[in-house]
Amino acid sequence: MGQDNLFKKRRQERKKRKYEFQSPKADSFLIVTEGERTEPLYFKGIQKLIQEKAGGRIDIVDVPVVDIYGEGCSTGKLIEITQQIVKRAKINYLNIWVVFDKDDFGDFDQAIEEGTEKGYKIAWSNQSFEYWIYLHFNYNDSALHRDDWKKKLDEMFKLYHLGEGRYKKNYENIYNMVNVHDGVNCAIKNAKRRMEGFDEKRMKPSAYDPGTTVYKLVEEFKKYLTD
């Protein structure tokens, strides 16, 4: 009889662990980016600020779990990789974000649709993440090639004496650098202004140039940085 009770107790514990594993963890974020440098470094900058604000205080219960992966692959492949990461994860993320650019990939719109169907949130940029970075300094709605956005960022980095005076993809403190003069809030404001003209029911993201929805992800984190 005692052994039967032991087996029953173990079964209940296994069921409990399985349930806990399947339940989404509150304030948990998975961010998977197409880029291997600028994008993950930018979001790690936000992650670091949130951790510094918590400062080990035990009374802060809503500090988010944030896991960031920079994969460096095509848009369509990124959705597949995200799915693999989710399956391998030890926690069930409440918020799954996939960050990618249009660049020259032809599966941009399809990747957005596939990711959305799987329940992922998509932070896309057309043409590139550099457009989002540029919005930290100025508003611009010109359809420019991604190389031109990099040139414009060179101008901004030189003007504001940032980094080496030019834009580079491997600045580890890129988030703090572009946040000079309240740059992040400026970028959110500029991005919202630009995206007011985007009708997702009638327009394809690939045709809305320039455009970015990265501000939606950044706003998710800003709430953890406000007093």
Domain edges within the chain: 2-222
CB atoms closer than 10 angstroms to residue 52: 10
Over residues 15-39, the mean pLDDT reads 74
Taking the mean position of all CA atoms in its chain, how far away is CA 15? 33
Over residues 191-210, the mean pLDDT reads 96
CA dihedral 147, 78, 68, 94 (to 10 degrees): 130
Q: Each residue of 112-130: pLDDT tens digit?
A: 999 999 999 999 999 999 9
pLDDT over 90 (residue 187): yes
Higher pLDDT, 180 or 2: 180
* C-alpha closest to that of 175 among 162, 194, 190: 162
Q: How confident is the model at residue 59 (pLDDT cuts 50, 70, 90)?
A: very low
Q: What is the pTM of this model?
A: 0.86
Q: Each residue of 3-22: pLDDT tens digit?
A: 555 545 555 555 454 444 45
**What is the structure's pLDDT at 63?**
76
pLDDT over 50 (residue 134): yes
Phi, psi of 100 (to 5 degrees): -155, 165
Q: How confident is the model at residue 73 (pLDDT cuts 50, 70, 90)?
A: confident
